[in-house]
Every structure is written in structure tokens, then in C-alpha cells.
Amino acid sequence: MDFKEEINRRRTFAIISHPDAGKTTLTEKLLLYGGAIQKAGSVKGKATARHAVSDWMDLEKQRGISITSSVLQFEYEGFCINILDTPGHQDFSEDTYRTLMAADSVVMVIDAAKGIEPQTRKLFKVTAMRHIPIFTFINKLDREARDSFELLDEIEKEFGIGTYPINWPIGCGVDFKGVFDRNTREILTFSDHHRGQDKLEAIKCDLGDTEKLDSLIGEYSRRDLVDQIELLDGASFDFDLEKVHRGELTPVFFGSALTNFGVEPFLENFIKMTTPPLVRKTKSGTIEPTSEHFSAFVFKIQANMNKAHRDRMTFMRICSGKFERDKEYYHIQSGKTLRLSQPQQLMADSRQIVDTAYAGDIIGVFDPGIFSIGDTVCEKKAQVEFEGIPTFAPEHFAIIEHTDSLKRKQFVKGVEQIAQEGAIQIFREPNSGMERVIVGVVGVLQFEVLEYRLKNEYNVTVIRRDLPYQFIRWIDSEDTDVKSLNLTSDTKWVEDFKGNNLLIFTSEWNINWALEKNEGLRLRDFSNN
């Protein structure tokens, strides 16, 4: 297979949803059908139950939620699939946002009983900004569900995007009979005993064949199905693959990930409809995935994936060309040449050394501490630099102090490494050391993860004191004498670990006070670094 064929068979997508919509369960079933695992795990359940492959962190297994994004690669019908499983909980939305930057398309999982939920809405807006293809899997049809037309209408109104149901559910809950494929005009019948990986046989059925349909799904379900399909065929959007690729039309699939129903048809349709690796923007233009020159950007850093070695893994999305093991590449930000000798293909926390990888692939490399989120690695003779990945401004703050003075080094190392991953942001009061730090997070659950990881990965116990601040602003005026600023008593001056001056506030009123009382003061709500 030649170079361009290898790239064009790549499919790299992220799965997003609100917590409990079934995202991680769907991911497991896709792996099952792809032959990457032999038995699907459960996200929740008994202590003895097998946990989901994508939930590799101990705390994820205990809490039954995805805390960190994971990368999963497998082969399916000649395609190389790269799945980016993301946290659903809003407290980890920044990790999800960075991961979306590495995807070429998105699968949005929606609970059929709940419809669009707040986190789905927030993540969709991030996705829409990039105009990448969006595929919708409406899950849990084996339970009671909302009206399917209402769900489609909600997607269209909330997101301003057209919908095209590829299949259509026949009932729901105890009356769920299966789905009707609008393209093949076949019915896939549902059995709640179907838990395996076997291919279900679709039954070709003319909607006018009353006798056959009645014997298959019952008279009541047949009447409903005929009416609904007639309405869909007459009033719904036409299917337009170009609009799908522009993120203007979402193909919609109905099914039940828990019972494996509808997962295989979804996977088969998805790989045909979604795009190969997309063109990527650089600071000087764009770069084609089939460019002969290798380039990649860092979208995730994770310390201590391997407990035995306490290593640090950097995840790179390859944007163009072919990666070759042991070849020298150039790190734009440090201006250094690197030899990446142990590149790895990943299956959550499982790893396999690879000799080559192509545009669209995600690889993990050992990081000696030089990489940061958004960095570019490329061939030196064809230098490019990808646009940086913005960071969310933290909304919750706390002082973290270690309880054992003999563990100071471990405390400093742990806090700095976890901050480099982008899971937290750390600040200090001017002229203070690292005995205590101010930690900023997007969601309060990140504090719990920080304390857990410091204890279990660095053997450090900490005391946390929550602070009342809710807003942070970087000082944008270089000539400002911070010490002489006129500020309210509940405004605090801090520094980040790059030496930038910041102010944290308890309210927007305090921000306006600072701007009104200090002529020439300019503030911004993001970091340029």
C-alpha cells in the first residue's frame, strides 16, 4: 500500500456526550466489533466487573466516570480507526476541548430519554467552531424514550444543523422492535438477548407488505412505522454528503450500545461517510495531510500512565506525512532536534512500539519534560508551526499545601507535572516559594483528582483551602506597576510560573473597579503563552 493510500484509510474521531449518555459503552462496543478487545467492559457495576478499556485511571474505575481522554486504535474492514474517548463530565471540559482539536470528525451520543443536555450543548459549540463532520448516535432505545421527531427537532433548533436519520426506531423500551434502514429499506429486529458480537441479519421488507410486517413487528408498530417513514421521506432534509463534511448536516443513528444493537450498522456507515485526515491550519497557511513532510502537534500530556516507571507520555496528532521511528525531528518551540526512538500506538494505557505512523494517527512518545500542550514537531527542512491550543480561564481556586516538609520535592514535582498536563493551572503569590501554591481549575472535581493523584502517584498528602475567587485576568500592560495598583480588598495579585502578572477577583464588579481606578490598565481573560 502506498503512502497516500495509507493516509486516506485513516479515520480519526472523538466521541462526546453528557455523562451517562452511553459514550464509553459505545466506545467499548466499537472496539468489540473491530476485534480490538474480546469482551466489552462496563463503566459502572460490581467491584468484580470488568472496567471499560478507555477508563484506565484507578479513580475512573472507582467513580464510574471518564476523567481523562484516552486514545484507542484498531483496524476494521481495511480502515485504520483512531478513537479519542473524552470525559463527559463538565469539570473536565478543557481536556475534551484539547482532544477535539486532534479529531477529524465527532460522534455525539445522546440519551434518547433525556435529549440534549448542558454538556452536549457546550461541546457541540466547540465542534461547530471548527466546522468538522458530526455524527449523532441516539442511544438507549431499549428503554423508554422521547418522541424521535422531538429529538431531531431539538438537535436542529439547538445547534442550527440539519438532521438526516439513516435508520428509524420502531418503538422504544419494552415495545422496542428494532430499526428500519431508510437506504436499504430493511428492518433490523431487536432482541434484548443480543449481547454478542455476531452480525444481525437484516430483513428486506417492503412497507406495503402488510402481512410480512405484521408478523415481524406487529400491526400496531407497523402502522406507526409506515406513517413515520412517509412523513420523514416527505419532509426531512435530503442527504448531502458535502454538507455532512462541512458540519452542516448530521447523519442520525438510533440504537442501544449496551445491548450492541445498531452499533455495527453505525460503524459501517460512519467509516464510509466520514472524511480521511483533514487539511490543518498553520501560522503561515495550511498543510495537506498527504504532504511528504512529517508534522504533528501535541494535544495531551499524561504523567504516570505506567506506575512501574513513573513516565510521562506526550500524545501527538500527526497532521502530515509519515512518521518513522529513530528519525530526527525538530521541536519548534525549543529549537532542538529530537530522536523519538520509542513511539507507541496506544490502546488506553496499553502500548505497542511502532516503526511508522501516518497523518491521522495518534502516537505517544516519552517526554523528558520539554513538551507543552500545542507544541509542534516536524521535519527541520520544512518547518511549520501549528496554531496554539487556547486554555480555559479557571473558575475555582484553592490554596494547596503539603503536610510533610520532607515531601517537598515530591509535592513540587507532582503539582508541576499535573499542571503541565493542562489538568490544573498553578499560581503563587509574589515573593513566595513552593511551600504552597494557588491552584485554578475549570471544575471543582479537578481538585479531587489532584489530591488523589498527589497521594497515589507522588505519595504526598495535601491540605486544601478553597478561595472565594471566580475570575482571573492577565495584566496586558507591560509598564504597569502592579504593587501600586488601586484594588479592592478581595482582589489578589498572583504570578504564573512563567512570571506573568495576574489578578484574581471575586466578582465582575471588582474587575470593573480595577479598570476604572487604574488608568492605562489593560486586562485579558486568556494567556498568550
Q: Which residues contact 433 (CB under 8 A, 6 or more apart)?
A: none
Give SS3 for 244. Answer: helix
Q: Which helix (H) or strand (E) holds 250?
A: strand 249-254
pTM of the model: 0.79
Sign of CA dihedral 125, 126, 131, 137: negative
pLDDT of residue 168: 95
Cell of 163: 438532521
Average pLDDT of the segment spanning 176-182? 90
- pLDDT band for position 310 (cuts 50, 70, 90): low
Please give the pLDDT value at position 63: 42
d(CA 239, CA 245): 12
Under 8 Å between Cβ of 247 and 161 = yes
CA distance 304 to 367: 11
What pLDDT was estimated at residue 64? 42
Cell of 15: 466521541
- Given pLDDT bands bounded at 50, 70 and 90, which one contains residue 290? very high
- Given pLDDT bands bounded at 50, 70 and 90, which one contains residue 450? confident
The total of other beta-carbon atoms located within 10 Å of residue 413's CB is 16
pLDDT at 47 over 70: no
Is it the case that residue 273 has pLDDT exceeding 90?
A: yes
pLDDT for res 12: 94
Question: What confidence category does residue 41 fall into, taking pLDDT thresholds of 50, 70 and 90?
Answer: very low
The whole-number pLDDT of residue 228 equals 94
Beta bridge partners of 377: 296, 331
Which cell numbers in the block locate residue 290? Answer: 498527504
Average pLDDT, whole number, for the chain? 82
% of the chain surpassing 90 pLDDT: 40
- Region 9-25: mean pLDDT is 86
Residue 369 corresponds to which cell in the numbers above?
519534560
Q: How far apart are CA 198 and CA 320, in angstroms?
A: 37
CA–CA dist 102, 247 (Å, integer): 16
Residue 452's pLDDT is 85
Under 8 Å between Cβ of 134 and 105: yes
Pairing of β 523-524 and β 462-467:
unpaired
pLDDT tens across 342-360, in order? 777 765 456 678 889 999 9
Predicted confidence (pLDDT) per residue in 370-422, tens digit = 888 889 999 988 889 998 776 777 888 999 999 888 888 999 888 888 887 77
Contacts of 272 (CB under 8 A, 6+ apart): none
Spatial distance between the Cα atoms of 469 and 45, rounded to a whole number of angstroms: 38
Give the per-residue pLDDT at 23. 80
Q: How far apart are CA 171 and CA 161, in angstroms?
A: 25
pLDDT of res. 163 = 95
> What domains appear along the chain, each with residue ranges and CATH number?
3-273 (3.40.50.300), 280-382 (2.40.30.10), 396-524 (3.30.70.3280)
Q: Rounded distance, CA 33 to CA 457, Å?
A: 34
Cα separations in angstroms, 191 against 142, 229, 333: 9, 22, 55
In residues, how long is the chain? 529
Q: Which three cell numbers stand for residue 278?
A: 483533514
Identify which of 187-196, 227-236, 512-521 has the greatest average pLDDT. Answer: 512-521
Q: Which residues pair with 285 in a beta bridge?
A: 282
Q: So what's the pLDDT on residue 246?
A: 92
Higher-confidence residue: 160 or 203?
Answer: 160
Residue 126 above 80 pLDDT? no
Taking only the tens place, the pLDDT of each residue in 317-330 is: 999 999 999 899 99
Which of these, 295, 332, 290, 287, lies nearest to 317 by C-alpha position?
Answer: 295
Q: What is the CA radius of gyration of the chain?
A: 25
Give the pLDDT of residue 446: 80
What is the Cα–Cα distance from 89 to 20, expressed in whole angstroms? 9
Helix (H) / strand (E) containing 14: strand 10-17
For the cut 80, the answer to whether the pLDDT of residue 61 exceeds it is no
In angstroms, the first-to-last Cα distance of the chain is 41
| CB 244 within 8 Å of CB 273 | yes
* pLDDT tens, residue by residue, 71-120: 788 888 899 999 887 654 444 456 677 788 889 999 999 999 999 877 67
> Strand, coil or helix: what is 234?
helix
Q: Which residue in 372, 350, 369, 371 sits closest to 305, CA to CA?
A: 350
- Which uninterrupted H or E stretch holds 228? helix 219-235
Q: Report whether pLDDT(166) > 90.
A: yes
Give me the phi and psi of 164, to 5 degrees please.
Answer: -135, 105
- Percentage, residues of the chain above pLDDT 70: 83
Q: Are 353 and 342 in contact (CB under 8 A)?
A: yes
How far is residue 352's CA from residue 336's CA, in Å, rounded to a whole number? 26
- Flag the least confident range among 152-156, 226-230, 342-346, 392-396: 342-346
Closest listed residue to residue 87, CA positions, set 422, 527, 462: 422
Report CA-CA distances (Å) from 285 to 281, 384, 386.
6, 9, 9
